[in-house]
Amino acid sequence: MCLAVPGRVVSINGDNAIIDFGGVTRKANISLVEAGVDDYVIVHAGYAIQILDEEEAKKSLDAWDEILRIEADTGP
């Protein structure tokens, strides 16, 4: 199964960016998209593969929060 996760670009250095995934930050390569600081992107396997508008990103992040909350309440 493949998993792509939405996050917000915090800083950019060349083709690499620091992405905030809801409080957890990681490096990702952004060479496949034209993202800027504060843009929301979907990251898969260390690469930003798509830019999201803020509304869609927040919907996706809210869905992830709900999944994690349910899992924490009920167990895996």
Residues 12-55 pLDDT 10s: 999 999 999 888 999 999 999 999 999 999 999 999 999 999 89
pLDDT at 1: 61
CATH number at residue 62: 2.30.30.140
Q: Alpha carbon of 35 to those of 42, 51, 61, 73, 76: distances in Å?
A: 11, 7, 18, 36, 35
- The pTM of the full predicted model, rounded to 2 decimals, is 0.83
Its domain, for residue 58, covers 5-74
Instruction: State the total domains in the chain.
Output: 1
DSSP calls for 8-60: EEEEEETTEEEEESSS-EEEEE-TTS---TT-EEEEETTEEEEEE-HHHHHHH
The pLDDT score that the predictor gives to residue 52 is: 94
Is pLDDT of 60 > 90?
no
